Amino acid sequence: MKLSEYKKHICGKRVSVIGMGVSNAPLAEFLSGCGAVVTARDKKTPGELGEVYEKLSSLGIKFVCGRDYLSGLDDEVIFRAPGIRYDIPELAAASAKGAVLSSEMELFFELCPCEIIGITGSDGKTTTTTVTSLILKKQAELDGSGRKIWLGGNIGTPLIGHIEEIKPTDLCVVELSSFQLHRMVQSPHIAAITNVTPNHLNWHTDMQEYIDAKTNIFTHQSKSDRVVLNYENDITRQLADKAPGSVYFFSSKRTPDADNAVYEENGVIYLKQNGTVEKVINTSDIRLVGRHNVENYMTAIALTAGYVSKEAVYEVAKEFGGVEHRLEFVRELDGVKYYNGSIDSSPTRTIAALSCFTTPVVVILGGYDKNLDYEPLCEPLFAHAHTAVLTGQNAEKIFKALEAHGIPADFEIIKEPDFEKAVYAAKDAADSGDVVILSPAAASFDRFKNFEERGKIYKEIVKKF
């Protein structure tokens, strides 16, 4: 639907926007500007919402706040925040009465006038999304096209607030979570799944629902579209048969048996497509450390194939130093290097982080329990680290997993419920030449608003040493 058509369609309709978070506050403002009669709903009080409440109220938007924020849902259209399931009783009842359920991302896909490149996965999607956008921006600079590259979705600025600025010749690069994809009926023109491992099983009904949500990123593509899949991940490799369009595999371990692929041989990344193979960059050109970041670049190369030159990829690889909270270097003190990996909210992320270091590691683990299995973390942890500081809600669960696996005699475990004291305990356990990393293998919601807040507080503590 064109934007002008949508404005006529939504004008005068009763609309509820549930959850006044990062994406829905701009959505409520946009809908109000289109003439909809908007009600903003949030479990927080007006005081807790602060500036969001003041700004939206000044636009004439009505609020329903507090414990009963979902009461009286009789609207024609309801937009839910990504973390709110569509099938909770209040939404199910509203839907049964004829309400249309949607989300900010679903609306954006419906209205976006340009091509969309979407990235999802259990790990690596934020770095891959960022790298993809940077490569496309670099190409626009190199060829002077004036094409604008928009970055958004699960990261960056909510794009619905910029929908009137986006031109058909632009490109949108969006990170998409399983929450956002869960009920999507449209897919990006070019999509990628970096990998699929158990995650968010406290929200999804089971692993299959989680996989189905991820698969939605390409389910609704056409024959002319493209999906990029991880050849080394059993789940994503098997999804290839379901792809409506072309499939590009990536692998850092072997050459995929496929027509289109990005792979590595002897430190060189190659792109294979349309019967030809060409060198793109050396892995040594990539400034970011770790095998997982090589794979992130492979994904980005497959996503941008046909859109960019090798020069654009090379320049970004040499320049880009990483995204905040993703193995972010904080400081070096007394010969010990401190890194912030607060984004590492699952065992697989922490395993990838540990593999980046050849020096002895002290790792801070623990946080909100997402019903994940910590057994796979044990062997990599014992192989790469000499000390684990356990903190947070699931500290005891992680300890029991390590204990059941068998803790080596020379491996130290420190239990410290207080987060700041846990960081200081990690400092005391480290010797010159060691690395200390916050890589929790768990979400942050047991004591922090999000992983960004956790990472910022960690950095503040470390900088106070």
453 in the same domain as 382: yes
211 in the same domain as 159: yes
239 in the same domain as 164: yes
- For residue 379, what are the domain limits? 328-464
332 in the same domain as 310: no
159 in the same domain as 88: no
Work out the angle between the directed axes of helices 24-33 and 104-111 (0-180°, nearest 10): 50
Q: How many CA atoms lie within 13 A of 278 on its CB side?
A: 11
Q: What angle do CA 231, 234, 236 make, to 5 degrees?
A: 65
CATH for 160: 3.40.1190.10
Query: pLDDT 10s per residue in the chain (465 long)?
Result: 899 999 999 999 999 999 998 889 999 999 999 999 999 999 999 999 999 999 999 999 999 999 999 999 999 999 999 889 999 999 999 999 999 999 999 999 999 999 999 999 988 898 999 999 999 999 999 999 999 999 999 887 889 999 999 999 999 999 999 999 998 999 999 999 999 988 787 888 899 999 999 999 999 999 999 999 999 999 999 999 999 999 999 999 999 999 999 999 999 999 999 889 999 999 999 988 888 899 999 999 999 999 999 999 999 999 997 777 888 889 999 999 999 999 999 998 899 899 888 899 999 999 998 889 999 999 999 999 999 999 999 999 999 999 999 999 999 999 999 999 999 999 999 999 999 999 999 999 999 999 999 999 999 999 999
CA distance 442 to 420: 17
DSSP 304-323: HTTTS-HHHHHHHHHH----
Q: Show which of 285, 319, 353 is a domain's final residue.
A: 319
428 in the same domain as 373: yes
Cβ–Cβ < 8 Å for 249, 227: no
Cβ–Cβ < 8 Å for 364, 419: no
268 in the same domain as 145: yes
pLDDT at res. 39: 98
Amino acid (1-letter code) at residue 69: Y
DSSP letter for 459, please.
H
Work out the angle between the directed axes of helices 395-405 and 375-384 (0-180°, nearest 10): 80
Q: Show which of 256, 287, 319 is a domain's final residue.
A: 319
56 in the same domain as 31: yes
Q: Show which of 284, 319, 354 is a domain's final residue.
A: 319
CA distance 134 to 112: 20
CA distance 414 to 258: 47
CA distance 140 to 226: 21
392 in the same domain as 301: no
264 in the same domain as 152: yes
Instruction: Name the one residue in this structure whose structure tokens are 């499939």.
Output: 247
CA distance 294 to 446: 32
Cβ–Cβ < 8 Å for 262, 270: yes
69 in the same domain as 194: no
Long-range contacts of 42-50 (CB under 8 A, 24+ apart): 42/18, 42/69, 43/67, 43/69, 44/20, 49/20
CATH for 434: 3.90.190.20
Number of domains the chain is built from: 3
Exposure class string for 163-202: b at 16+ Cβ within 10 A, else e:
beebeeebbbbbbbbbbbbbbbebbbbbbbbbbbbbbbee
pLDDT at res. 18: 97
197 in the same domain as 271: yes
pLDDT at res. 290: 81
CATH for 67: 3.40.50.720
pLDDT at res. 323: 75
